[in-house]
Amino acid sequence: MAAPEGGYVAQSHAQTYTTQPFFLGNVMATANKVVLAYSGGLDTSVIVRWLQESYQCEVVTFTADIGQGEEVEPARAKAQALGVEEIYIEDLREPFVRDFVFPMFRANTVYEGEYLLGTSIARPLIAQRLVEIANETGADAIAHGATGKGNDQVRFELGAYALKPGIQVIAPWREWDLNSREALMAYCEQHNIPVDFAKAQKKSPYSMDANLLHISYEGDVLEDPWIPPEEDMWRWTVSPEAAPDEPEELTLTFERGDVVAIDGETLSAAQVLAKLNERGGANGIGRADIVENRYVGMKSRGCYETPGGSILLRAHRAIESITLDREVAHLKDELMPRYAKLIYNGYWWSPERHALQAAIDQTQSVVNGEVRVSLYKGNVTVTGRRSQDSLFDENIATFEADGGAYDQADAEGFIKLNALRLRIAATKGRQHQ
């Protein structure tokens, strides 16, 4: 079989796969034009043809560069080979970090104590652009390649419905019977879909998702939570054991809670995260092996590399430690788990997330200054912090003579008032209740 232009060739597969039409009640769902979140890979290439044939609709493809580290322009030729006429390929790295990652890190957001939400935070932006492109092109539906087992289907669709309540969402993995890579490749052969089969068959055994904040790995041996990940799985970070034997120092400059410069060099939001990824990865920082609770009900194991985010989180907490009022800082810590759950579960566009964001952002007006961190063999250590908005008063905190700045005798009354309820309970014999 001759290879078409671009070198893609379909190979023969024995089994025939069919798809079933999707019905809403007793009425078959219809769509005239569908905007598809398209990567150019095997799954979404199959989805293009499946939509064209199952729904008899026009397909618009949308491919976003959010820092996944792969060229996105080849998706154009692949979409054109499938007969797609309206093709959107966009560099969204700056808005991704500026409008989604940075606001999330202002809250010091961590899900279940470990996960820095690298996949979760990318989905609201993709959902937003899918809806906007649907509006621009007159499409009446959007489609995505998320499976029916994961969280991403929820995140994409909650975002879409929040932004355009009447939009139709098509999720092929919940409709078709193509439930394996072999089935997908067979469908490609049967439906004349140009796919580089040699590359498809050599694909990593892991299910991976990457953007400028992180890269994730799931599946294969990781489905047994007892089996350790293989060293050659990791792509962004060296192992801590192989990291340099000398620490590396960085100074991060914050304005209103966001990093705006590294070592005195002013950088854009995306440039900040890219540089932190590079320096953190070289020092073995940001690896995590987690079992998390998915919103759809199951436990799932994932491994993550988030080098830049790990540095950013530690540094942001350090600058807040000297600039935020104690009760404001504690309130933020109390709100953070709820905020993290909202993002993880797909509620970025919800009114409660917007309300929390407004409160969080209000606290950041004084989060200005510099933090110095030391990167060494997988560890991020804060070695200094300073700010014109600092609430740290050396005259009061000193262990030396403070010139009357703090009257230690005042502590006696403070302690007695706070002990009053404890003393009353003890007189009633309740000290052990």
Digit-coded pLDDT (tens) for 167-199: 999 999 999 999 888 899 999 999 988 876 555
Q: Considering 138, 168, 203, which residue would you say is the last residue of a domain?
A: 203
Q: What is the pLDDT of residues 64-76, one digit of tens each?
A: 999 998 889 999 9
**141 and 229 housed in the same domain:** no
How far, in Å, CA of 107 to CA of 95, rounded? 18
Q: Round the average pLDDT of the chain to a whole number and report it.
A: 91
Contact 308/286 with Cβ under 8 angstroms?
yes
Kindly state whether residues 157 and 228 are assigned to the same domain: no
Tell me the two tokens of residue 416.
Answer: 């007695």
- We report the CATH number of the domain holding residue 124 as 3.40.50.620
**Residue 422 within any structural domain of the chain:** no
Mean of pLDDT values over 50-61: 96
Q: What is the 3 state secondary structure string of 209-220?
A: EECCCCEEEECH
DSSP element (H, E) containing 337: helix 326-345
Within a domain: 74: yes
Residue 290 confidence (pLDDT) above 90: yes
Q: What is the pLDDT of residue 257?
A: 98
For residue 374, the enclosing domain spans 209-324+367-386
Closest to 155 (Cα-Cα) out of 11, 4, 37, 290: 37
Tell me, yes or no, whether 403 lies in a domain.
no
Residue 203 confidence (pLDDT) above 90 = no
Q: Are residues 184 and 296 in the same domain?
A: no
Residues 73, 189 share a domain = yes
> At residue 6, does pLDDT exceed 80?
no
Predicted confidence (pLDDT) at residue 28 exceeds the cutoff of 80: no
Burial class from Cβ neighbours inside 10 Å (0-12, 13-18, 19+) for residue 176 reads: buried
Are residues 120 and 151 in contact, defined by beta-carbon separation less than 8 angstroms? Answer: yes
Assigned domain for 283 exists: yes
| Residue 221 forms part of a structural domain | yes
Choose the final residue of a domain: 171, 187, 203. 203
Q: List, for residues 375-419, the tens digit of each pLDDT value.
A: 999 999 999 999 999 999 998 898 888 888 889 999 999 999 999
Pair 183, 228 in one domain: no
Listed residues 203, 233, 256: the one ending a domain: 203
Are 237 and 159 members of one domain?
no
Confidence of residue 253 (pLDDT cuts 50, 70, 90): very high
Active site residue 152: yes
- Tokens 């995505």 — which residue? 144
Longest dimension (CA), the chain: 93
Active site residue 54: no
Residue 10 banded pLDDT, cuts 50, 70, 90: very low
Number of structural domains found in the chain: 2
Average pLDDT, stretch 2-12? 34
Name the active-site residue from 93, 120, 152, 155.
152
Supply the CATH number for residue 235's domain: 3.90.1260.10
Q: Say yes or no: 197 and 213 in one domain.
A: no
Q: Are residues 219 and 290 in the same domain?
A: yes
Q: Is 6 among the domain residues?
A: no
pLDDT confidence band for 430 (50 / 70 / 90): confident
Phi, psi angles (nearest 5°) of residue 290: -130, 145
Residue 333 lies in a domain: no
Domain membership flag for residue 346: no
Co-location of 287 and 236 in the same domain: yes
Q: pLDDT confidence of 27, banded at 50, 70, 90? A: very low
Q: Do both 234 and 375 map to the same domain?
A: yes
| Residue 235 annotated to the active site | no
Q: Can you give the pLDDT at residue 433?
A: 61
Tell me the angle at which helices 269-282 and 307-323 cross, rounded to the nearest 10 degrees.
110
Q: Are residues 242 and 290 in the same domain?
A: yes
* Same structural domain, 148 and 224: no
8 Å CB contact between 60 and 84? yes
pLDDT tens per residue across span 367-376: 999 999 999 9
- Read off the tokens for 358: 């407004």
Q: How confident is the model at residue 219 (pLDDT cuts 50, 70, 90)?
A: very high
Q: What is the mean pLDDT of residues 211-226?
A: 96
- Taking only the tens place, the pLDDT of each residue in 99-122 is 999 999 999 999 999 999 999 999
